[in-house]
Amino acid sequence: MAARNLVVAQSGGPTPVINNTLRGIIETARELGCFDRIYGGRHGIEGVLKEELLDLGAQSPEEVALLRYTPAAGSIGTCRYKLRPEQQEDFQRVVDVFKAHQVGYFLYIGGNDSMDTAHKIARLAHEQGLDLVAVGVPKTIDNDVGDSRFELVDHTPGYGSTAKYWMHMVQFANEENRGSAPADPVLVMQAMGRRIGFIPAAARLADPQRQWPLLILLAERPFQLEQVADAVNDLLRRHGRAMVVISEGFDVGSLGEVKDAFGHTSFGSTRVTAAQTLVNFLNQRGLPVKGAARSNIPGTDQRHSMAYASTVDLEEAYRVGQHAVLLAAEGQGGYMATILREPGPVYRVRYDKVPLEQVAGADRQFPVEWIAESGMDVTDEFLRYAEPLVGEEMVSLPLVGGRVRLTRFEPVYARKQLPDYVPQADRKQ
C-alpha cells in the first residue's frame, strides 16, 4: 500500500500569516481527499524526530478556519532545530518516522534552510525505498528567501504583514513625534531583520512623499554613530524633531556591549540593542534642542500584531499553501511552491514551483539600487515593489469577551510506533 499520509511542519521565526498557510494546506488536503491522514510535526522537524505528530485531520473545521486570525506558530509550533549534513542519525530517524506512519507527503514551511532540509530528506527517503513527495512552502517576515532578482520567489508570505505593521506604526509614531516634539524630539524604532533590510525599508511606506523627518538605517549600509548623530541633528535643526528606524542588525560597534560591575565586557546575549545604543549615544552627546531621545523596540510584536496583518499577505499565504498541496497531490516533489509577480503595471501574482535545490542554494540580498544615495533611505523603486503587498484594508479580528478568538487545537496525536529518540543536537547538554 502506498504511503498516503501527509506531514506538515513549520520552521524558524513565525509570521502573522504562517497559520493561514497551514489552513490552506489543511483545508485543501481535506477537500482533495487523496490523503489518509494529515499530521502536523509538533515544533517543526523536532516533532518529527520525537514522533510527536499532531492529528490535524481530527481538528474541527471551525478551529482550522480560525487559523486565519491566529498569528505566530502556537498551534503546531515551530523550531530553530537544523538538520546539518553531519547529523545522519537525525535524517535516518525522519525517514524511519515517515515509514512507521505511512507518510508519503512532507510539506515544510520555512526559509532557505528548510528548503535544503526538505530536499535532503526527500533524497534520503528515495534512497531507502520510501517514495516521499517533499514540497517546500516559503515563509519569513525578513523576505530573505530566494534570489535577489526575485526570479525564484517575488516575496515571502509574512513580509507583507510586517511591512504593513511598520507602515502604520510609523504613521502613528509620526503623530506622536510631531505632537510631543518639544519634550521628546527624537524617536528611534528598531526593526527586525538581522542582515537584510526589507523590514526597516517598509517604514518608508508611511511617508512615500518624504515629507517627514525620517531616517532609515539598514544593516547593509554601515555608518559611524557620529554620522548618524549629525543626520539626526540636521533634521532637528530643520524640523525640530526626528524619527529613526534602525535595523536590529545595524552595527553599533563596541558601544553595544554591556560592561559588568568591574567594567569588563560581558559576552553572550548581553549586548544592548542597536536602538538603545543609538539613543544612549544621542543623549550622552546632547541634542541641539531640549529634550531627549527615546526608543521603541517592538521585537516579536512586529511578527504577531495581528490587527496589522495584510489582507493581501493573508490571501497569498493561503494560496501558496494550497498550491503546495496541489503539487504534492500531483506527485511533484522536490519543489517549493512559489509566488511570482506578473509583469506589467497592475499587481498580479501567479503560484508556481521552483526546484528546492535552487532555493536552498540561493542568497537574497536587499537590492543595492534600492538604497537611496544618502544611504539612510530607500528609493521609489522599493516602494513600487512593496506597496501592493500591504493591501488596502484592515483584517477584521473575531473577538469573544474582548479577546481575540484564536485557534485551539485538541491535543490528539498519532500513536507512537518507535522507541524514544533524542535529536542529535540536543544530546550534549
Of 296-355, binders to its own copies (CB under 8 A) are 296-301, 303-308
Interface positions, 379-418, toward its own copies (CB under 8 A) = 387, 390-394, 396-397, 399, 401-404, 406
Residue 190, SS3? strand
Per-residue binder mask for its own copies (CB under 8 A), 144-183, x = binder: --------------------x--xxx-xxxxxxxxxxxxx
418: nearest Cα among 48, 3, 118, 42: 48
- The footprint of its own copies on residues 101-140 (CB under 8 A) is none
- Contact criterion met (CB below 8 Å) for 415 and 50: no
Question: Within positions 257 to 276, which residues make up the interface with its own copies, using CB under 8 A?
Answer: 258-264, 266, 268-270, 272-273, 276
Minimum Å distance from CB 133 to its own copies? 26
Beta carbon nearer to its own copies, 82 or 123: 82
Applying CB under 8 A, which of residues 37, 43, 119, 120 lies at the interface with its own copies?
43
User: In this structure, what C-alpha cell is assigned to residue 129?
Assistant: 525505498
Instruction: With contacts defined by CB under 8 A, name the span among 29-37, 72-80, 231-239, 336-344 that binds its own copies.
Output: 72-80
**Matching residue, cell 509614531:** 173
- Cβ within 8 Å of residue 427, ≥6 positions away: none
Minimum distance between the CB of residue 355 and its own copies, rounded to whole angstroms? 28
Question: Cβ 27 to its own copies, closest distance in Å?
Answer: 20
The HSE-up count of residue 148 (CA atoms within 13 Å, CB side) is 10
Residue 103 CA to residue 169 CA, distance in Å, equals 44
Our CA angle for 64, 107, 305, nearest 5°, is 50
288/331 with CB nearer its own copies? 288
Angle in degrees, 0-180, between the axes of helices 311-329 and 159-180, rounded to the nearest 10: 170
**Shortest separation between residue 207's beta carbon and its own copies, angstroms:** 9
Radius of gyration of the chain (CA): 23
142 is catalytic: yes
Name the active-site residue from 36, 90, 96, 142: 142
Q: Least distance in Å: CB of 330 to its own copies? A: 30
Cell of 403: 479577546
Give the residue ranges of DSSP H helices in 33-71.
Answer: 45-49, 61-65
Based on the shown chain and the rule CB under 8 A, indicate whether residue 279 belongs to the binding site for its own copies: yes
Q: Which residues are catalytic?
A: 142
